Amino acid sequence: MLLVGYCFGIRAERRLCDEVHLNLAYRWFCRLGLDGNVPDHSTFSKNRHGRFRQSDLLRQLFEAVVRRCISEGLVGGEGFAVDASLIKADANRQRCVPGTQGLPPEAASRAIDEYLAALDDAAFGAATPVTPKFISPADPGSRWTSANKGLAFFAYCTNYLMDLDHAVIVDVEASTAVRPAELTAAWTMIERVREQHDLSPQRLSADSAYGSAEMLDWLVNDQDIEPHIPVIDKSERVDRAFSRRDFTYDAKADLYRCPGGKELKQHRRAFRIDHPDVPPDDTYRYRASKADCDACSLRSRCCPKTPARKVTARSTKRADRAREIATTDAYIVSRRERKKVEMLFAHLKRILKLDRLRLRGPRGTRDEFLLAATAQNLRKLAKLIPPPAIAIA
């Protein structure tokens, strides 16, 4: 009955019980027959918070559907896409407390217990040390966000790892609505898919939110996956001076050349102790000679407020692979195919009506996202797999 509700966007459990009671197709699917008793709506809550959650049944159900998709040949396993989408939490933005104030001492609920249990979880409480602006006493695990450029609201993130062949969701993970949590969820899903289904993609497509140095380094060096991801570049200058892209990098000599042809090096003196290959803060600093900058005619457009020009490049060597891939035709194809995951999110919110959560707390959020992703994969199976032929005597 839960699958019926999520497959057809029946959000209210009371209404779902009525629909199953009257619809013969739903009765057949739920094996109730014509005269079977439909469970009461309170049974859903007892099972969901009890044996379903304790046995991790919903995760097992999702994995079983993914295995069925793989056996039917709907999962290629060569190219994956990852993305996250905000889902509003069941929390009133008008009833919140300042984050610095914390929860009221008398507040107590299942959602609060789950929030406290997830404080050390990298996808929730430990995702960022930043104190949220506001906290919801009804669901403190949700995050106050204005990422949609409108009114701020409390939300969670659903993270999808999708196969690019037929847009099958191979994994789903819930997280708090902050960028570091999305990266953590992506790492978790890629590793879990390898363990559960022995799937290791050759390439991963994502938007620029996943183009950090840590993510690119993990994909290239640890997972041997081609990152079809735009590299995050914050080198653009606001004072209209030359940005880092105006400087040419010489990988063989490990230096930059400015528009005037002068060299920017990391080290200009000989030291007794060799410098480490990677700086402690993972940031490479290339500096020009002050004598070169003083005599340069482009000084007003290069370093008008400093004695000499400096270029910083975080993980330059690690991002080179991603920049090379961005010039290939395969990258253009991956960027186009990545839009399939956006279509999944649109289907999730408009057809399955999961634009706002019904359950509260991190564990309730995981349950809803797992059921919704399972429903989407089942609908994909029903659409792409032809029904068996019926022999007519």
> How do residues 203-222 score in pLDDT, each as one tens digit?
999 998 898 878 888 888 88
* Each residue's pLDDT tens digit, 134-170: 999 889 989 999 887 788 999 999 999 999 999 999 9
Q: What's the whole-number mean pLDDT along residues 104-116?
A: 82
Classify domain 74-230+326-373 at the CATH superfamily level: Ribonuclease H-like superfamily/Ribonuclease H (3.30.420.10)
Lowest mean pLDDT among 109-113, 240-244, 291-295, 318-322: 318-322
Residues of the chain with CATH 3.30.420.10: 74-230+326-373
- For the chain, the average pLDDT equals 86
Rounded-to-integer distance, Cα 10 and Cα 14, Å: 10
Question: Residue 45 contacts by C-beta under 8 Å, 6 or more apart in sequence?
Answer: 13
Q: What Rg value do the Cα atoms of the chain yield, rounded? A: 26
Burial of 142 (0-12, 13-18, 19+ CB in 10 A): buried
Q: How confident is the model at residue 104 (pLDDT cuts 50, 70, 90)?
A: confident
Q: How many CA atoms lie within 13 A of 238 on its CB side?
A: 1
Query: Is the pLDDT at 378 greater than 90, yes or no?
Result: yes
- Torsion angles phi and psi, residue 279, rounded to 5: -60, 155
Percentage of the chain exceeding pLDDT 90? 33
Say what the pTM is: 0.82
Nearest C-alpha neighbor of 366 from the set 42, 49, 18:
49
Where do the DSSP E strands lie in 143-212?
A: 143-145, 153-163, 168-176, 203-205
Looking at the predicted structure, is the pLDDT value of residue 107 above 90? no
Instruction: Give me the pLDDT at residue 272, please.
Output: 52
> What are the pLDDT digits (tens) for 247-286?
888 878 888 888 888 888 887 765 555 555 656 556 778 8
Query: What is the structure's pLDDT at 233?
Result: 66
Closest C-alpha among 154, 162, 206 to residue 183: 206
Torsion of CA 80, 86, 89, 95, to 10 degrees: 160
